[in-house]
Amino acid sequence: MAGKFEIKDAKKGQMYFVLKAGNGKVILTGEPYTNKSGCTNGIASVRKNSQMDDRFERLTWKKGAPYFVLKAANKKVIGTSEMYSTTSAMENGIASVKTNAPTAEVKDLTKK
């Protein structure tokens, strides 16, 4: 089963996207956008930037859990991962984004 992007409603009329792996698990959550074109541009940016390892910033949350963010060329965050239990699991998450993002279908689940 292939990965997919889902565009979802957020608070205050905003929207965001999630990238799901083939197993349905969320592997990246996008920043909030005020309109659909911004959200789809964010998805295009994930497709492009996910193929460059240096665009993934590996971080550790204050409670010790590893996670990553994907950044665009301008250093702005495009998406954030979940918190992982191990660094190895986080690296598997990055690999999954690299694999799924380029060809993932887009499903618009917004009410607008």
* Domain coordinates in residue numbering, the chain: 4-108
CATH number of the structural domain 4-108: 2.30.29.80
Integer CA distances (angstroms), 4 to 7, 62, 72, in order = 10, 30, 20
Percent of the chain at pLDDT > 90 equals 90
Residue with tokens 């996670």: 67
User: 39-84, pLDDT tens digit by residue?
Assistant: 999 999 999 999 999 999 999 998 889 999 999 999 999 999 999 9
For the chain, the C-alpha Rg in angstroms (whole number) is 13
The confidence score (pLDDT) of residue 2 equals 83
Tell me how long the chain is.
112
Q: How far apart are CA 47 and CA 64, in angstroms?
A: 29
Q: Which amino acid is at 107?
A: K
Model confidence pTM above 0.95: no
Read off the pLDDT band of 1 (50, 70, 90).
low
Q: What is the mean pLDDT of the chain?
A: 95
Nearest CA-CA partner of 103 in 50, 57, 67:
50
Question: What is the residue whose two structure tokens read 């497709």?
Answer: 47
C-beta separation of 21 from 96 below 8 A: yes
Percent of the chain at pLDDT > 70 equals 98
CA dihedral sign of residues 2, 41, 80, 34: negative
pLDDT at residue 91, rounded to an integer: 97
